[in-house]
């Protein structure tokens, strides 16, 4: 069990933007010592509690997540993701279920007939994304630390849609915001910015989870895109000296 707890802790540290160096500095230990602890899964309860306190994580919640991850799926295979993007209705059902729509709500709000809906649920069950229970009750089988494959079929699908659809807007309506920032930063400062963006993304995900129980009429589908990289405007680059 300790290996599952440590593996889950590593995922959470990465998601929250913490490095081994950050933990080492806070605990007044060397980075190599922290790496050794994680590699050997050699943690005392006191040390685990210290790290959890540093990142604002309840130890009981860490154990709960580790237990859940043993039962549930952290990532799909490339073939599983391909099957989703090849069937838009299947992908739609999957995303609605992940956003805690009930089967009844899906049928009410989308042009999907009951018989077809059951067929789609059965496919999702075969893919391991859900467990289809009697009376079309559903249990999500993806863990709380689930991630789509990096640059996999799902990410590629949504990147294409973001480029072609999402940015076709002036972002001047209520609730809309677009900010483009440009400046000269050191590598160290860029790392700080990246960590803060990662924490902002976690806050977004946390709010989504907190509001899943709200009535659907009190929520709306929201997409946020966070992107940062070293970049020069192409029209300026033509004047740069070699």
Tokens of 162: 């973001």
What is the rounded distance in angstroms from the CA atom of residue 115 to the CA atom of residue 136? 11
Number of other CB atoms surrounding residue 21 within 10 Å: 12
Confidence of residue 237 (pLDDT cuts 50, 70, 90): confident
pLDDT digits (tens, 9 = 90+) for 69-108: 666 777 888 999 999 999 999 999 999 998 888 899 999 9
pLDDT digits (tens, 9 = 90+) for 4-21: 788 889 888 888 888 999
Number of other CB atoms surrounding residue 31 within 10 Å: 14
What is the rounded distance in angstroms from the CA atom of residue 200 to the CA atom of residue 203? 5
Q: What are phi and psi of 185, to 5 degrees?
A: -130, 155
pLDDT at 80: 92
Model confidence at 44: pLDDT above 70: yes
Is the distance from CB of 125 to CB of 90 less than 8 angstroms?
no
SS3 string, 201-223, reads HHHHHHHHHHCCCCCHHHCCCCC
Is the distance from CB of 80 to CB of 90 less than 8 angstroms?
no
| Three-state DSSP class for residue 130 | strand
Q: Which residue has the higher pLDDT, 213 or 113?
A: 113
Model confidence at 137: pLDDT above 70: yes
């Amino acid at each position: 069990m300790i290996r599952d707890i440590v593996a889950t802790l590593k995922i959470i540290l990465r998601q929250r933007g913490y490095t081994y160096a950050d933990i080492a500095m806070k605990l007044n230990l060397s980075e190599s010592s922290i790496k050794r602890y994680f590699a050997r899964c050699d943690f005392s309860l006191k040390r685990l509690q210290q790290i959890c306190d540093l990142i604002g994580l309840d130890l009981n919640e860490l154990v709960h997540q580790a237990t859940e991850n043993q039962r549930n799926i952290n990532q799909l295979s490339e073939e599983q993701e391909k099957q989703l993007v090849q069937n838009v209705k299947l992908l739609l059902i999957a995303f609605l279920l992940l956003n805690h729509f009930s089967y009844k709500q899906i049928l009410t709000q989308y042009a999907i007939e009951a018989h077809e809906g059951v067929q789609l649920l059965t496919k999702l069950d075969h893919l391991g994304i859900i467990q289809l229970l009697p009376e079309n009750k559903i249990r999500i089988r993806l863990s709380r630390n689930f991630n789509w494959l990096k640059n996999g079929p799902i990410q590629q699908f949504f990147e294409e849609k973001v480029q072609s659809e999402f940015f076709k807007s002036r972002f001047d309506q209520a609730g809309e915001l677009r900010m483009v920032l440009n400046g000269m930063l050191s590598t160290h400062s860029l790392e700080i910015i990246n960590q803060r963006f990662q924490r902002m993304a976690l806050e977004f995900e946390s709010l989504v989870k907190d509001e899943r129980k709200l009535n659907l009429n009190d929520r709306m589908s929201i997409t946020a895109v966070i992107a940062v990289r070293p970049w020069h405007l192409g029209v300026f680059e033509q004047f740069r000296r070699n």
